[in-house]
Amino acid sequence: MRKGLLLMAVFAGFVVAKEKIDDKELLKMARQYFKPLPKVAENPQNPVTPEKVKLGKMLYYDPRLSKSGLISCNTCHNLARYGVDNLPTSIGHRWAIGPRNAPTVYNAAIHIAQFWDGRAKDVEEQALGPIVNPIEMANTEENAVKTLKSIPEYVELFKKAFPNEKDPVKYENIGKAIGAFERTLMTPSRFDEFLKGNTKALTEQEKRGLKTFIEVGCVACHNGPGVGGNMFAKFGMITEYWKVTYPYVLVGKPAIKVDFGRFGVTKKEEDMFVFKVPSLRNIEHTYPYFHDGSVWSLEDAVRIMAKTQLGKELTDQQVKDIVAFLKALTGKIPKHALEVPELPPSTDKTPKPEL
Amino acid sequence: MRKGLLLMAVFAGFVVAKEKIDDKELLKMARQYFKPLPKVAENPQNPVTPEKVKLGKMLYYDPRLSKSGLISCNTCHNLARYGVDNLPTSIGHRWAIGPRNAPTVYNAAIHIAQFWDGRAKDVEEQALGPIVNPIEMANTEENAVKTLKSIPEYVELFKKAFPNEKDPVKYENIGKAIGAFERTLMTPSRFDEFLKGNTKALTEQEKRGLKTFIEVGCVACHNGPGVGGNMFAKFGMITEYWKVTYPYVLVGKPAIKVDFGRFGVTKKEEDMFVFKVPSLRNIEHTYPYFHDGSVWSLEDAVRIMAKTQLGKELTDQQVKDIVAFLKALTGKIPKHALEVPELPPSTDKTPKPEL
Ligand SMILES: [Ca+2]
Ligand SMILES: [Ca+2]
């Protein structure tokens, strides 16, 4: 890489030396690691059609998929708040407090697998989990299907979304419809503009942050179109993670148990404390951070990463630059995600909510 | 009234005699009791401006007004479900189950007073209640204001909504902004078309229902632009209400206590078991019915009303016709209500959610 001209900048009485970024070099380097987001995250097994997306969005927003009639996907993945609940760990049925932080649903469809431990293969499979999870929506498959079958508008929408099926209102198709909706939840950002060649899309500081992010080694794990989301890695490559995050855990809260991560799925020793590398898109908005939601500040999260994953101490300037770059990953929420559909009324046949 | 031509209709083997409705007569009669909805429910003390409505909508949808960071106005008054939660009684902070059914916020701004017992004078005053109610959002005034002050986007929006105030981010103004938003939540229906003179806007059955609704005496209480909402009345004028609703209370649920209604507010004996007469607009969607949410079917609710309030037993045909009329009160949800605003991120200064 050609070393750029050193610029001497005088700030508030002290002198900082900054390297001028070579835009072309940086773009070339960045393109080795990253790609712009797709418009839609296609799945050949579940083609995205307008009919499925329409139905999926209604199901996403409908609290009647839960036992109580109160909790919808949007309760924990609030699309108006970048697809998260901004709680350390989520609250579900009867105020059950779960063990993990809710990741965003925006861009989740492009991940290598779903959940922090990757236990679901795609968004279609994933969506079937929370509906019957006793500490989330606490429903049963039968009751969810019975509810939808009792509402003529839904029966019609399932027929349209799955036109070649005899009995389209079935549990699996709930996952397919919600999955199709989620496949449209892509949030392109200024970083995508940059990757497409518009080097003016990022500020100098953001470019410096991108360069640091690459050179320090973050890209070893956070790469691809999601800037993460496409591999697994141990949380605590260099230092056990809980030793580093412990001081950040909110005082007075019940101690958070150490989470074995992917070991719980594969039972292989090498998967102990291994988690899916999270996508860093919209990370500015998806606080608190890490699978246990233990850390509220993005700067702290960046410092912790450098320490636990790379054994490095970053300078204040490096942290600030990286954070500026990460904030440039904040994307545009697609308009249709926030246009909430009217939900059809229940009927006499609809199972009653159970509190 | 000129008696219309008797029509002999033969249905599935038995004979029903039906009176032909005189449209002009009916319209004239209806206009004595009812009025179309206003476009916006103005309040000279709190003029509705686009700036206030924009801010009010964000606050309405923002769960950070609650102590837990999880519960927003929309949790219990889901705008996608006609402004209600469709639960017998509402669930709030830490899964507290409240004593009353959540009424809809659509058209609420035109009511004579707010809450089942009328204890708040208007939507501006009302909105300040649930935020600090320990079984609803469980926050404190100070914490709510501190939260909003910590978010620069909100500070800016309050300045724009209350341009002549020195310290616009104050508790009272939360109520004014949400109130202004609620004043736009009017849902005109086919019945309004009818009242404006288009007698074709209602079907024959709906007109028969309207006529019955008037002649049987429902209009004594359910009248005005809200078809209710503009007076108080004892629930159980003729028969004590709980003796009639008791069989409808869901089996196996904790017994619902008898609710003194407005007596709790005024402490006057004549207000014992007195409630605000609810608006019947969108009643098709706002099940379950009555202040205790004890009754799920609209037909049952209509029968109970005739019995408790008028001492009458309605025929099946009368009930069906009235219900058909009531369904014609289902209105159009204003588009902007369901266009959810993006909510700005919290900052380091934002109080943390407390579960
Ligand atoms: Ca998070
Ligand atoms: Ca109700």
Residues, chain A, total?
A: 355
Q: Looking at residue B250, what is its pLDDT?
A: 61
- pLDDT, tens digit (0-9, with 9 covering 90-100), for A2-61: 444 444 433 443 444 566 899 999 999 999 999 999 999 999 999 999 999 999 999 999
Give the range among A256-265, A284-293, B72-81, B218-227 with minimum mean pLDDT.
A256-265
CA B85 – ligand 2 centroid, Å: 8
> Which residues on chain B are in Cβ contact (under 8 Å) with A285?
345
- pLDDT, tens digit (0-9, with 9 covering 90-100), for B306-349: 999 999 999 999 999 999 999 999 999 999 999 999 999 999 99
Rounded-to-integer distance, Cα A326 and Cα A308, Å: 19
> Which residues on chain B are in Cβ contact (under 8 Å) with A82?
345
How many Å lie between the alpha carbon of A284 and the closest alpha carbon of chain B?
8
Phi, psi of B196 (to 5 degrees): -80, -5
How big is the CA angle at B48 (ends B44 and B53), to the nearest 5 degrees? 150
ipTM beyond cut 0.85: yes
Rounded-to-integer distance, Cα B159 and Cα B162, Å: 5
Partner residue opposite B355 with nearest CB, options A63, A82, A91: A91
| Contact state of A87 with B69 under an 8 Å Cβ cutoff | yes
Q: Looking at residue A5, what is its pLDDT?
A: 40
pLDDT band at B15 (very low <50, low <70, confident <90, very high): very low
Active site residues of A: 136
> Which residues on chain A are in Cβ contact (under 8 Å) with B101?
none
| Contact state of A86 with B69 under an 8 Å Cβ cutoff | yes
pLDDT greater than 50 at residue B20: yes
How many Å lie between the alpha carbon of A343 and the closest alpha carbon of chain B?
6
Q: What six digits make up the tokens of A195?
A: 């990757």
Rounded-to-integer distance, Cα A131 and Cα A140, Å: 7
What is this structure's pTM? 0.94
pLDDT band at A253 (very low <50, low <70, confident <90, very high): low
- pLDDT, tens digit (0-9, with 9 covering 90-100), for A82-92: 999 999 999 99
Give the range among A280-294, B92-106, B195-209, B239-253 with minimum mean pLDDT.
B239-253
How many Å lie between the alpha carbon of B133 and the closest alpha carbon of chain A?
18
Q: What's B143's DSSP letter? A: H
> Dihedral through CA B295, CA B296, CA B301, CA B303, nearest 10?
-100
Q: Are B273 and B234 in contact (CB under 8 A)?
A: yes
Interval B242-257 mean pLDDT: 70
Mean of per-residue pLDDT scores for chain A: 93
Partner residue opposite B345 with nearest CB, options A85, A285, A333: A285
Nearest Cα residue to B241 out of B215, B286, B274: B274
Partner residue opposite A91 with nearest CB, options B70, B339, B342: B70
Which candidate in B85, B95, B136 is best for mutational testing of the A interface (most A CBs within 10 A)?
Answer: B95
Partner residue opposite A61 with nearest CB, options B80, B95, B353: B80
Query: CB pairs below 8 Å between A and B: how many?
Result: 93
Partner residue opposite B342 with nearest CB, options A338, A346, A353: A338
Q: Looking at residue B255, what is its pLDDT?
A: 58
Q: How far is CA B149 from the centre of its chain?
A: 31
What percent of chain B is predicted at pLDDT more than 70?
A: 93
Q: Looking at residue B4, what is its pLDDT?
A: 42
Q: Looking at residue B251, what is its pLDDT?
A: 53
Could you tell me the CA-to-CA distances from B330 to A344, B85, B188, B324, B333 in Å, in that order?
Answer: 12, 17, 8, 11, 9
For chain B, say whether A284 makes contact (Cβ under 8 Å).
Answer: yes
Q: Are B344 and B151 in contact (CB under 8 A)?
A: yes
Q: Looking at residue B254, what is its pLDDT?
A: 56
| Closest residue in chain A to residue B344, using alpha carbons only | A81
Where in chain B do CATH 1.10.760.10 domains reside?
Answer: 14-38+187-327, 50-186
Annotated binding residue A137: no
Could you tell me the CA-to-CA distances from B270 to B116, B218, B306 in Å, in that order?
Answer: 16, 21, 21
Which candidate in B93, B342, B347, B348 is best for mutational testing of the A interface (most A CBs within 10 A)?
Answer: B342
- Annotated binding residues of B for heme c: 73, 76-77, 93, 218, 221-222, 305
Q: What six digits make up the tokens of B251?
A: 């089996």
For chain A, say whether B136 makes contact (Cβ under 8 Å).
Answer: no
> Dihedral through CA B341, CA B346, CA B350, CA B355, nearest 10?
80
How many Å lie between the alpha carbon of B33 and the closest alpha carbon of chain A?
29
Q: Looking at residue B19, what is its pLDDT?
A: 67
What percent of chain A is predicted at pLDDT more than 90?
A: 88
Q: Are A229 and A110 in contact (CB under 8 A)?
A: yes
Rounded-to-integer distance, Cα B169 and Cα B162, Å: 9
pLDDT greater than 90 at residue B206: yes
| Contact state of B86 with A69 under an 8 Å Cβ cutoff | yes
Evaluate the CA torsion angle A253, B344, A108, A321 in order and state its sign.
negative
Q: Looking at residue A2, what is its pLDDT?
A: 41
User: CATH assignment of A14-38+187-327, given 2.60.120.680, 1.10.150.120, 1.10.760.10, 1.20.1560.10?
Assistant: 1.10.760.10
For chain A, say whether B270 makes contact (Cβ under 8 Å).
Answer: no
**Which class for B163: exposed (0-12), middle (13-18), buried (19 or more C-beta within 10 A)?**
exposed
> Which residues on chain B are in Cβ contact (under 8 Å) with A63?
78, 81, 85
For chain B, say whether A91 makes contact (Cβ under 8 Å).
Answer: yes
- pLDDT, tens digit (0-9, with 9 covering 90-100), for B169-205: 999 999 999 999 999 999 999 999 999 999 999 999 9
Q: What is the 3-state secondary structure (H, E, C) of B52-115?
A: HHHHHHHHHHCHHHCCCCCCCHHHHCEHHHCCECCCCCCECHHHCECCCCCCCCCCHHHCCCEC
For chain B, say whether A296 makes contact (Cβ under 8 Å).
Answer: yes
Class of domain A50-186: mainly alpha
| Contact state of B75 with A70 under an 8 Å Cβ cutoff | yes
Q: What's A78's DSSP letter? A: B
pLDDT greater than 50 at residue A1: no
CA atoms within 13 A of residue B163's CA, in its CB half-sphere: 6
How big is the CA angle at A352 (ends B277 and B114), to the nearest 5 degrees? 25
- pLDDT, tens digit (0-9, with 9 covering 90-100), for A158-176: 999 999 999 999 999 999 9
Beta strands A14-19 and A232-234, pairing class = unpaired
CA B232 – ligand 2 centroid, Å: 17
- pLDDT, tens digit (0-9, with 9 covering 90-100), for A296-307: 999 999 999 999
First to last CA, chain A: 63
Q: Looking at residue B201, what is its pLDDT?
A: 98
Q: Looking at residue A200, what is its pLDDT?
A: 97
Locate tokens 């046949």: which residue?
A349
Q: Which ligand is nearest to the CA of B102?
A: 2
- pLDDT, tens digit (0-9, with 9 covering 90-100), for B283-306: 999 999 999 999 999 999 999 999
Interval A270-274 mean pLDDT: 95
- pLDDT, tens digit (0-9, with 9 covering 90-100), for B207-248: 999 999 999 999 999 999 999 999 999 999 998 888 888 877
- DSSP labels for A122-187? SHHHHTHHHHH-TTTT---HHHHHHHHHT-HHHHHHHHHHSTT-SS--SHHHHHHHHHHHHTT---
